[in-house]
Amino acid sequence: MADFDNPPSSVSINPWDALRRFTNARIALGRAGSSLPTAPLLAFNLSHAQARDAVHQPLDVAALHASLRAAGFDTLDAESAAPDRDHYLRRPDLGRKLNDESAARLRDYAAAAPAAFDIVFVVADGLSAYAAAGHAVPLLERMRAKMTGVSIGPIVIARQARVALGDGIGELLRARIVVMLIGERPGLSSPDSLGIYLTYEPRIGKSDAERNCISNVRPEGLGYDAAAFKLHYLLTEATRLKLTGVKLKDDSDMLLQAARVSGSALAP
How far is residue 67 from each of residues 61, 106, 135, 146, 248, measured CA to CA in Å?
A: 10, 21, 11, 20, 33
CA torsion through residues 153, 155, 160, 161, sign:
positive
pLDDT in tens, 173-182: 999 999 999 9
Query: 168: pLDDT confidence band, cut at 50, 70 and 90?
Result: very high
Amino acid identity, position 5:
D
Tell me: the pLDDT tens digits for 208-223? 999 999 999 999 999 9
**Judging by DSSP bridges, how do beta strands 194-200 and 211-217 pair with one another?**
antiparallel
pLDDT at 267 over 60: no
> Is 217 labelled a binding residue?
no
Average pLDDT (188-214) is 95
pLDDT value for 9 = 67
In terms of Cβ atoms closer than 10 Å to its own Cβ (0-12, 13-18, 19+), residue 84 is: exposed
Question: Is a pLDDT exceeding 90 seen at residue 32?
Answer: no
Q: Is 171 a known ligand-binding residue? A: no
Percent above pLDDT 70 for the chain: 92
Architecture of domain 57-254: 3-Layer(aba) Sandwich (3.40)
Mean pLDDT of 13-19: 79
Average pLDDT over residues 158-180: 98
pLDDT band (50, 70, 90) for residue 247? very high
Distance in angstroms (rounded) separating the CA atoms of residues 213 and 216: 10
Q: Which tops the pLDDT comparison, 267 or 46?
A: 46
Q: Is 261 annotated in some ligand binding site?
A: no
Per residue in 81-127, pLDDT (tens digit) is 999 999 999 999 999 999 999 999 999 999 999 899 999 999 999 99
| Averaged pLDDT for residues 124-146 | 96
Q: How confident is the model at residue 17 (pLDDT cuts 50, 70, 90)?
A: confident
pTM score, whole prediction: 0.85
Q: What's the pLDDT at 264?
A: 58
Whole-number pLDDT of residue 265: 53
The whole-chain average pLDDT of the chain stands at 90
| pLDDT tens digits along 50-78 | 888 889 999 999 999 999 999 999 999 99
Work out the percent of the chain whose per-residue pLDDT is above 90: 69
Concatenating the DSSP letter of every residue in 2-61 gives --TTSPPPSEEPPTTGGGGGG-SS-----EETTB--HHHHHHHHHHHHHHHHHHHSPP-H
Q: How confident is the model at residue 40, as a pLDDT?
A: 85
